Amino acid sequence: MYYNDRMADETTLRNIVLTTKPSVRPLVESWVRSLRADGKSHRTIENYALAVRAVTDWADEHGAPLDPAEQTTDHLRRFIADELERNARSSVVLRFRCLQQWFRWLIAEDEIDVSPMAKMSAPKLTETVVPVLSDEQLRNLLAATSGRDWLDRRDHAIIRTFVDTGMRMGELVGLRLVDVDLDHQTLLVLGKGDRYRLTPIGDKTAVAIDRYIRARDRRPHASSPMLWLGTRGTLGTNGVGVMLRSRGAQAGVDDLHAHRFRHTAAHRWLAAGGGEGDLMRIAGWKNPAMLQRYGRSAAEERARDAHKRLKLGDSL
C-alpha cells in the first residue's frame, strides 16, 4: 500500500492526543469526535489538540492544575505570556483562539461553568508583510525547472500551478488525478472547511501538468490516486516545502514558500485589473478582509501604476 498523506495526518493527530496528559486525554478525545462531527478540517482539529496539550504540559511543569475546571484566568495569562517568549506572536494568537474554543466546548458539555478566558483578549498581532515575487524571480523559477526529467516536469508543473492559481499548500498536495480536467483547464480544489471549488488554469499550466502526468505514468507509484508523487510515493507538504526552498536557491530566490505565491497571485490579479469578487472565488475566500490582507504587500506599487494610467495632473 502506498504512503497516504491522510493516513499520516491521522497518525499525527492520534500521537498528539496520546501524548496529552492521561487525566485530560478522555476530554480531548471527546472534543476531537465533536469537532469531526461538526465538519472541522483535519488541520483545525490538529491545531486545537496541540493547544490543549501545550497548556496541559505547561500546567504540569509549573505546578498549575491539569484539570481545566480548576484552571483560572491567572493560569491562562501566565501560559500565554510564556508562549510569547518562546514562539512567534502569530503562533501564540492561533493557540489563544484554539484554547478559547476548548473552554467554550467544555461549557457546552457542562464540564465547566465559566471560561477562564472569558475576559481575556488575544495578543495584538503585528501583521508581517509578505513580499511578492517579481516577474524576474518568477521567470527564474520557471527556468530552473525547465529540464526534461520527471522531477523537472513535476516541479515546473507545481510552480506554474502556484503562480497561476495562488492556491494554498494543503490544497495543492490534496489534488487527485480525477480533480484535473485539462480539456476544460480546471482543477477541483478542496479548500478550507472541506469546501470544493473549481479553479481555472491557463494554457501553459495545463501543458505543464499534462507533461508531468505523462512522466508520472512511468513512475513506480503511478497507481496512487494523488496527483503529485515524490521519490517514495505521494508528495506531501514537507516535500513540496523542501522542493520550493531548493528551487528557490537554484533560481536565486530567498525564502521561497507557498504563501509567497498566494500573495503574488493576488497582487498580479489586482494589478491586471481583475475583479475582487472573482479573485475571492478563485482564491477560496469568504471574508472580503482577506483581499486587503493579501493585496497589501504591493498595494503602493498598484497605486503608482494607477496614477500613471489616470494622469490626474496631466489632464489639466
Helices 89-108 + 73-86 axis angle, to 10: 150
Place 2 in a pLDDT band, splitting at 50, 70 and 90: very low
**Closest among 221, 192, 227 to 209, alpha carbons compared:** 227
Over range 5-14, report the average pLDDT.
67
Give the C-alpha separation, 8 to 278, whole Å.
Answer: 34
Of residues 127 and 181, more confidence is placed in 181
pLDDT value of position 293: 64
How many Å from the N-terminal Cα to the C-terminal Cα in the chain? 72
pLDDT value of position 32: 96
Q: What is the pLDDT of residues 251-298, one digit of tens each?
A: 999 999 998 999 899 888 888 888 878 888 888 877 776 666 666 655
Residue 146 has pLDDT above 90, yes or no: yes
Residue 172 contacts residue 162 (beta carbons within 8 Å): yes
Residue 259 contacts residue 267 (beta carbons within 8 Å): no
Residue 75 contacts residue 64 (beta carbons within 8 Å): yes
Q: What is the pLDDT of residues 111-127, one digit of tens each?
A: 999 999 999 999 887 66
Q: What is the pLDDT of residues 75-104, one digit of tens each?
A: 999 999 999 998 888 889 999 999 999 999
Q: What is the pLDDT of residues 14-51, one digit of tens each?
A: 999 999 999 999 999 999 999 999 988 888 899 999 99
Over pLDDT 70: what percentage of the chain? 87
**What is the DSSP code string of 147-172?**
-SSHHHHHHHHHHHHHHHH---HHHH
**What is the DSSP code string of 244-287?**
HHHHHHHHT-SS--HHHHHHHHHHHHHHTT--HHHHHHHHT--S
Characterise 56 by phi-psi region: left (phi > 0), alpha (psi -120 to 50), beta (else): alpha
* All three cell numbers of 169: 499548500
* Burial class of residue 257 (count of CB atoms within 10 Å of its CB; 0-12, 13-18, 19+): middle
Helices 150-165 + 203-216 axis angle, to 10: 150
Place 1 in a pLDDT band, splitting at 50, 70 and 90: very low
